[in-house]
Chain A
Amino acid sequence: MAKTLSENPPKKKGTNWRKIKINWQLYVLLAPGLIYFLVFKYYPMYGVQIAFKDFRAVDGIFGSAWVGFDHFIRFFDSYYFWDLIKNTLGINLYALALFPISIIVALSLNELRDGKFKKTAQTITYAPHFISVVVFVGMIIAFLDPATGIINNFIQFLGFEPISFMTEPGWFKTIFVWSNEWQNLGWGAIIYLAALAGVDPQLHEAAKVDGATRLQRIWHINLPSIMPTIIILLILNMGNMMSIGFEKILLMQNELNLESSQVIQTYVYEAGLLHGQYSYSTAVGLFNSVINFAILIFFNRLARRTGTSLW
């Protein structure tokens, strides 16, 4: 707002009002969307106050009694608090460690000279992105089945005992994270390929003249060119640090793997929607959102030093 005002220094307010009046139709075009965001995104933020209240439907959000930080304290003191934190961070940090795979896929596809092969490779690697999470989890369960799954058939073929992957807590994170990677490594590469398409060919010509090898050119030209994209995506990932893949985790959960598959968001779902503890689970969810947002701001600050940041 400040900037718009300073652009027309002399008669600021008057001109702005006049411009709004002339352009009223733009606001008509804007209105449906704006109303949507206010109702479905901002009104729930108003509703988040029930985290500090004892919500009763008859009293409504506004009328329910305040209880301060009671729900938060109850959450922090609960025996499962550290398990949830450990699982949530564990899964996300594990996923973050695989972040470079899509970059490698993009750099590699970018070096292909055979256009047809390149296109086919892209079509195949992007395809899993379109499989729904329900079908995908169905695939994982089918493949890993201890008695009938292809993976265990192979393990037995090699002479080992079958592994009950889905009910073994120790396997949960690995299955979740690597299957995610399988589904998204190609799709995740598109954005880097777009950035790579913008690399000035003259840089490569000059490096060739200087005798640089392909690997050297990738390392010293291509990688630095996509660095801003990498940083932006890293920050965005950080901002989702505690919330990736919740819908998939929920589907992959079962009684037996719960000790490593229960994350904050699945717990919010369970406590809130299955057990009706609205205020308490809102508090847990709010805790998650605030941490998420804090991490985002922290890393965006950090990234500013490199000259690339979200804002």
Chain B
Amino acid sequence: MSIKPAKSDRIFDFFNKLLVWFFIVIISYPLIYIISASISDPAYVNSGQMWLFPKGITFEGFERVFQSNEIWLGYRNTIFYTLLGTFINLAITLPMAYALSRSDLIGKKAIMALLVFTMFFDGGLIPTYLLIRDLGMINTVWAMVIPSAAAMWNIIVTMTFFKVSIPKGLEEAAEIDGASQIRTFFQIVIPLSAPIIAVMALFYGVGHWNQYFGALIYLQDRELFPLQLFLREILVQQQITAELMQQSGTAAAISEHAKIADIIKYAVMIVSAAPLLIVYPFLQRFFIKGVMIGSLKE
């Protein structure tokens, strides 16, 4: 195997690396730009003089963002919804996936068909909304965590993990020794399932952290808003509340409006996306594992 790679091979490697570099540049440029813009003087950013590295470094954007009570409120709410929501997700997904992974579950095929059908067909936005309303969940914490309590795709991934990774003999031995199935699940299966629990916590957690639409339709009370709804006002609707302006809506304030919007725009993006983007490289293998288990064939 010590033969020098053929010339055509080296040419291929060169062009392939070039292609990968192309993707890397395309993807990282906007990310680097945001970071640089968030600590640059908006005058340089808006005129295009800052295009890669920070220019006229200022932290005013971050200062304003961190002084904003609404951003902190949104942050606190988001963290709470993410923790509670993910806990509920796991409490439903893990036992259900385990039951479905067992070959002695009679009626499994019918149950699976019933569940998988929901991946491709649903009642739609309005009937779901009416249900949540009739359940009295509008404008409550529950609207943020209960309607998304489980995702079928994640259940399938978890089920596949249980099937391929938990030795059948272990379950059987436990049950021959007189352990009940529920006990087997909690004392034998769960301790062996740390990888899939991590994967699921991450998948569900990222979903909760980033979601805005449920909050948009189910919440009215600003006290309950997750971070994403406040961000929507700032970044998409481009409303800067008096609170962020730190002054009342006088004429002078309105002229100041655009300038402040520019200062906080990029900082607010960083503040929201940073927690995930910072931890993600360390947890990358778990995310990838989740996708890979999902691609396994039964």
Contact = CB atoms under 8 A, between A and B. Distances in A.
A251 interface: yes
A73 interface: no
Nearest to B105: A26
Contacts, number: 271
A47 B46 contact: no
Given A121-B20, A128-B27, A150-B33, A134 B231 contact: yes
A247 B123 contact: no
A148 B28 CA distance: 21
Contacts of B124: 44, 48, 268, 282, 285-286, 288-289
Contacts of B152: 37
B106 A19 contact: yes
A147 B276 CA distance: 31
B176 interface: no
Q: Chain B binding site: helix, strand, loop or mixed by DSSP? A: helix
**B-side interface size class:** 35 or more
Nearest to B228: A134
Contacts of A215: 12
B148 to A, nearest CB: 9
B125 A191 contact: no
B98 interface: yes
B66 interface: no
Interface centre among A41, A182, A289 (most CB of B within 10 A): A41
B110 interface: yes
A138 B122 contact: no
B46 A141 contact: no
A197 B55 CA distance: 44
Contacts of B30: 139, 143, 182
Interface string A21-65: 001011111101110110111111111101000000000010000
B96 interface: yes
A281 interface: yes
Interface string B89-122: 0011101101110101111111100110010111
Contact of B27 (A30, A127, A296): A127
B212 A247 contact: yes
Nearest to B25: A124
A133 B31 contact: no
B69 interface: no
Given A44-B127, A121-B24, A134-B232, A33 B92 contact: yes
Contacts of B280: 126-127, 130
A60 B285 CA distance: 49
Nearest to B135: A39
A213 B12 contact: yes
Interface in A226-278: 229, 239, 247, 250-251, 265, 268-269, 272-273, 278
Nearest to A157: B48
B252 interface: no
A185 B23 contact: yes
B126 A278 contact: yes
Question: How big is chain A's contact interface, by range?
Answer: 35 or more
Nearest to B206: A130
A199 B260 CA distance: 55
A123 B280 CA distance: 9
Interface string B25-52: 0111011011000000000011110010
Interface string B273-298: 10011001100100110011011000
B272 interface: yes
| Residue among A20, A25, A30, A265 with most chain B CB within 10 A | A30
Contacts of A32: 91-92, 95-96
Interface stretch (B57-65, B179-187, B192-200, B241-249): B179-187
Nearest to A214: B12
Contacts of B291: 190-191, 194
A21 to B, nearest CB: 10
Contact of B127 (A3, A50, A265, A292): A50
Given A32-B95, A134-B212, A282 B127 contact: yes
A135 B284 contact: no
B236 A134 contact: yes
A133 B210 contact: yes
B27 A47 contact: no
Contacts of A142: 235, 265-266
Contacts of A247: 212-213
A282 B123 CA distance: 8
B28 A124 contact: yes
Contacts of B47: 153
Contacts of B180: 25
A33 B284 contact: no
Given A133-B212, A292-B120, 9 more contacts: A19-B104, A33-B96, A34-B111, A42-B123, A44-B122, A121-B24, A153-B47, A153-B51, A214-B9
Closest 4 CB pairs of A and B: A44-B123, A138-B235, A153-B48, A33-B96
Interface of B: 6, 8-9, 12-13, 16-17, 19-20, 23-24, 26-28, 30-31, 33-34, 45-48, 51, 91-93, 95-96, 98-100, 102, 104-111, 114-115, 118, 120-131, 146-147, 149-150, 152, 155, 180-182, 185, 206, 209-213, 217, 228, 231-232, 234-236, 238, 262, 265-266, 268-269, 272-273, 276-277, 280-281, 284, 287-288, 291-292, 294-295
8 contacts: A1-B110, A19-B104, A30-B99, A43-B123, A50-B127, A251-B236, A268-B126, A269-B125
